Chain A
């Protein structure tokens, strides 16, 4: 899932400063699951924005709405009847959703209310960690199911650097060394031979180095 976190209120307030009527949009997918931009966070932000204005003696007209999924055009169509009564749109979806809105409503200012963080999963209630950077050429099959690109700050491909000590990365005590984890896991699987094989330099083109990426399913696309 894509994770996100609400932007500082100050930044959001700066975006919407000139506007009186705001359409505040949540998304019922990833950002709901990571508690950043679902119906509830929309309510929390709306109230916070309203109070920020009220305390300055003004007020703001906020319409709250949450779409099933902001990154799909059909769902975004749902906004057509309400878009005209808004001066600007504030989206709590990930960057994909924000862009979908900007594409659809070309004459309407659209602002993000969250920072899209990473592709990850939840470790436990309330904790999410990065798991994937979408490199376009998955090598988890070679690394015991642990990603050295997402989990190693240097994206190293052939074992740890000198900053790995006692299984911990030098950038912080709470960061595990990805290559240490990989080694332990391969050992447990009896696949240490796999570790000894040298991986060639990674081709970063499928990771976005070759420009914006696109998937076309020939059988589906008309």
Chain B
């Protein structure tokens, strides 16, 4: 066991689980300058997401979005990553835990393994692979960017251990590896182990065990995936032909529907099925028919309803509201026959399909159950950890936090938000010690190479057999050494090994090399490493070029060694040509102002303020109105029974009395300038509207949303027609009135999921259930009708929905095109609705009609904010996050974050999670002293610029503008570095640093030099 004692610094946070959530928590903590031990039982981190083909709602491929996260994770100096490791015991308490860890033997020394794959070639049977649909995945690395980038060995399958050890070119295989055990002291623990998936093989009527063409949703995902067993060609397992008709069956193992099913809703499966159906449609268009059999389509997330509508209207996915009762094999055709009924016909229907996909839900597996038991945290009936208050990421044991699907079923964005929130909580338990002045390795001054003749050093890796077995690296170096400007060309063995790096550094210094070319692997993975190296040798980082002679030469042309050699030579020549034109570039960096501006004094704004103030940052909380608390101040209790009033009062008191928080009431933002880390925002305050400016490093938007009050179903025409918000107040304040009621009707989706407001308001279904149950508590005899389109009681809310049904609440579906009719009759209100199953109208005379009106974006205030801060908004007026999946609380303008209902409608507990998530994300910026903005930005030569506006119009991010001097200016702090402006500029006045035109042209010239000769 390596030394984990970091007594000279503060104790680390232990993060259990290296899926997307665990990685996010670890990265947030590390970026906030806290140490992390990240353990995962798997061979490589990445969790479930690495197995997905594409993700909703963008239908993007994951690999490209996740991979940078992982390698970033690998490079963080604050993170110690321990794969194949489990927690065995925990003792101690918050701030001072002792955790026993056990690491399984990998039989491979991670420091030596380069991921070359020689062992796999020689002994495919004992190099472990990932189980999936395939019986033989190409490598044991789940995907090519795996972290750690290393294989693992299954020794029990190996017949000749000695030969196996010998086959490794770096001597990384160690058959005597016994694994290790050790204790680690830590401040707090974050549990993000994810959840398992329901196994449908026990449900014989679904035919999962009998028909190969009946697959789970994850298996279907693997069939679609480019890195899956069929390389992304969707084929029927039985015939190997593309399927023509595919059906999805929802809610398998969820909502208490089948034998052994869990009582809760798994939350993510509806979107998952929609995505799979849409991707199938995208790929095969008219050649495939997709049908989803569903109970309620639960597309309650941000903009998810639009996604559902697109699936239905644009992609032609067919939706059938039914739960098929049987999945049978048609012996004659080899196809599958689904038996089902629908609402509008009494007949039994049957339909043939080529493939059936079971949308399986999340489940807490045995391993996680025992983890919870061992940690001594309380769990609910379904074995998910319970949180004592409204804070979802807390457990019943102080100092232990949860995030992701282990907390409750959820999708990726919500997992990411919780992961950041857990980082915020866990980070608070780290007791900062006196920061000892660390001996940072002093970097030599950068040599000024401008004006010097290029003296290029070319270092060519053999990467063991990877390059060396195909081409003779020594000979290649010899050929390269005669190129113009090349001062040194040498073979560098494993260039990235410590010894080689040291040798390269010395050579650069001794030979006065002023530009460097590395011939080896991909710059994607190793550029940063060699940039650091040449910087240590006194050169500017950007005087470096890579020739990718491994991934793009020897690995792919091993059958033609001579041509491979010639190509490697060409690539090196191109790299030399380009590096001669390279300029030393300055990375842009800015000092950080550590104050925080929080806009909006609702629960999200106050919570974010408190979390950051507790960490010692100065917070300015600006509230437009004259009171704190937002919408939550009007709420009485949550579905689960928490007292919201007491909670909000406590929050207001703590906010107002905190030394580091200044609350500015009646503040209206009017202007804003600056860059991330040094913003200045102006506001008018109070009745006198006096002007005040605040300087701050980050901005948090928690401006909330508004309760919707549309003129629908007679709202506002009589006091017996109310909203859910009104109703909960009446139940609370005037129980006598409620006791006199006989009938109450609730209508769902009022002003939501309509043409005017296409999205789902998310909170209304649980609101209806909450108020219905509360009504029954007060008046057990009242009859309650809930007219709904889809009941969207996700996760554990489902259990309350079931309870409401058991207690006699009548739930009736209505169709959007046949809405209930409402008529005021005296003190009552007459509601007529179409009962789909009976096929006739039903009339109810109600004492109260309660409309579920949900939330809408605060159009005026959001529009103003968006204009002042230059932030994009979604179509329905909410702020649009930077990346819907992976950066759900970061806004596209660096240094801006969003929390609460300003992002989208959500519950109080969900707003609190986001508030803590933004507090964590903000700390990743505030912990630094300066922000590095990189160097690959576009630069305008004002003398050449014709102010034609083409760059202004072409930039995808609206960065260039024509400045007061009359030429285009590009703010390096905002430039994303794509280079589109440089390519379109008709005056050739713009260059993208690091990819300048003369470098590209030089590559071409070098490549074709011999052709011309």
Contact = CB atoms under 8 A, between A and B. Distances in A.
A40 B946 contact: no
A220 B702 CA distance: 61
A39 B988 contact: yes
A125 B952 CA distance: 9
A33 B953 contact: no
A43 B954 CA distance: 20
A29 B944 CA distance: 11
A170 interface: no
Given A38-B946, A39-B944, A32 B953 contact: no
B948 interface: yes
Contacts of A124: 953
Contact of B948 (A33, A41, A43, A66): A33
Given A40-B987, A43-B988, A35 B946 contact: no
Nearest to B952: A125
A66 B944 CA distance: 10
B693 to A, nearest CB: 36
Nearest to A1: B948
A66 B987 CA distance: 9
B956 to A, nearest CB: 12
A2 to B, nearest CB: 13
B651 interface: no
A35 B950 contact: yes
Contacts of B950: 33, 35, 125
A69 to B, nearest CB: 10
A120 to B, nearest CB: 14
A155 to B, nearest CB: 30
A28 interface: yes
Interface in B959-991: 985-989
A104 to B, nearest CB: 22
Contacts of A122: 949
A38 B954 CA distance: 17
Interface in B973-1013: 985-989
Given A28-B944, A32-B948, A33-B948, A40 B954 contact: no
Contact of A28 (B949, B953, B954, B987): B987
A122 B947 CA distance: 14
Given A38-B946, A39-B944, A32 B954 contact: no
A29 B985 CA distance: 13
Interface in B498-512: none
Given A39-B987, A40-B985, A40-B988, A33 B946 contact: yes
A122 B954 CA distance: 14
A122 B985 CA distance: 16
Contacts of B947: 33
A43 to B, nearest CB: 7
B988 A33 contact: no
A contacts with B: majority SS: mixed
Contact of A29 (B946, B949, B954): B946
Nearest to A125: B953
A39 B944 CA distance: 9
Interface size class of B (residues with CB under 8 A): 10 to 19
Contacts of B946: 28-29, 32-33, 38
A83 to B, nearest CB: 22
Interface in A1-47: 28-29, 32-33, 35, 38-41, 43
Interface in A61-90: 66
B988 to A, nearest CB: 4
Interface string B928-949: 0000000000000000101111
B997 to A, nearest CB: 9
A28 to B, nearest CB: 5
Contacts of A35: 948, 950, 986
Interface residues of A, number: 14
Contacts of A33: 946-950, 986
Nearest to A31: B986
Nearest to A35: B986
* Centre residue among B948, B949, B954 by max chain A CB count within 10 A: B948
A114 B948 CA distance: 19
Nearest to A32: B946
Given A29-B946, A32-B946, A125 B988 contact: no
Contacts of A43: 988
Contacts of A125: 950, 953-954
Nearest to A38: B986
A33 B953 CA distance: 12
Looking at B944, B946, B949, B954, the one whose CB has the most chain A CB atoms below 10 A away is: B946
A38 B986 CA distance: 5
B962 to A, nearest CB: 12
Interface in A93-133: 122, 124-125
A78 to B, nearest CB: 14
Contacts of B987: 28, 32, 38-40, 66
Contacts of B985: 40
A33 B985 CA distance: 9
A38 B988 contact: yes
Interface string B899-930: 00000000000000000000000000000000
A40 B983 CA distance: 9
A149 to B, nearest CB: 27
Nearest to B988: A39
A129 to B, nearest CB: 16
Nearest to A33: B948
A41 B954 contact: no
A122 B946 CA distance: 15
A38 B984 CA distance: 11
Interface in A176-194: none
Nearest to A36: B986
Contacts of A41: 986
Nearest to B985: A40
Contacts of A38: 946, 948, 986-988
A92 to B, nearest CB: 11
A36 to B, nearest CB: 8
A9 B953 CA distance: 29
A39 B986 contact: yes
Contacts of B948: 32-33, 35, 38
A38 B990 CA distance: 13
A214 B746 CA distance: 80
Contacts of A32: 946, 948, 986-987
A35 B949 CA distance: 11
Contacts of B953: 124-125
A124 B987 CA distance: 18
Nearest to A37: B986
Contacts of A39: 944, 986-989
A66 B986 CA distance: 11
A41 B987 CA distance: 8
Contacts of A40: 985-988
Contacts of A28: 944, 946, 987
B515 to A, nearest CB: 26
A196 to B, nearest CB: 39
Contacts of A66: 987
Residue among B947, B949, B954, B988 having the largest count of chain A Cβ atoms under 10 Å: B988
Contacts of B989: 39
A29 B987 CA distance: 9
B340 to A, nearest CB: 50
Among A32, A33, A35, A125, the most chain B Cβ lie within 10 Å of the Cβ of A32
A38 B946 CA distance: 9
Nearest to A124: B953
B731 to A, nearest CB: 54
A157 to B, nearest CB: 34
7 contacts: A32-B946, A32-B987, A33-B949, A35-B986, A39-B986, A124-B953, A125-B954
Interface of B: 944, 946-950, 953-954, 985-989
Given A38-B948, A40-B985, 4 more contacts: A33-B949, A35-B948, A40-B987, A122-B949
Closest 10 interchain pairs by CB? A38-B986, A33-B948, A125-B953, A39-B988, A32-B946, A35-B986, A38-B987, A40-B986, A32-B986, A32-B987
